[in-house]
């Protein structure tokens, strides 16, 4: 399962984007967005998120 970002809790710090090994994370509407088709569910993004707003879908 892919990971998702709770946009309301995202502070747009981009820590997750830098950790994603498959570049599945991009910016959308002043928050980060995970492309489920690219996400490999490795969890690297969730591990570095300071607001813990990234969870498995």
pLDDT per residue over 10-23, tens digit each? 999 999 999 999 99
Q: What is the pTM of this model?
A: 0.90
Indicate the number of domains in the chain: 1
> What pLDDT, on the 0 to 100 scale, is given for residue 28?
86
pLDDT tens, N- to C-terminus, the chain (57 residues):
899 999 999 999 999 999 999 999 999 888 899 999 999 999 999 999 999 999 999
15 is in which domain, residue-wise? 3-56
> What pLDDT, on the 0 to 100 scale, is given for residue 24?
98
> Cα(21)–Cα(44) distance, rounded to whole angstroms?
8
Whichever domain contains 48, its CATH number is 3.30.70.20
Q: Three-state SS across the chain?
A: CCEEECCCCCCCCCHHHHHCCCCCEEEECCEEEECCCCCCCCCHHHHHCCCCCEEEC
């Amino acid at each position: 399962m892919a990971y998702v970002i709770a946009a309301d809790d995202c502070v747009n710090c981009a820590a997750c984007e830098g950790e994603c090994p498959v570049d599945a994370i991009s910016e959308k509407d002043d928050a980060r967005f995970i492309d489920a088709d690219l996400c490999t569910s490795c969890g690297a993004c969730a591990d570095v998120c300071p607001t813990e707003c990234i969870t498995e879908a």
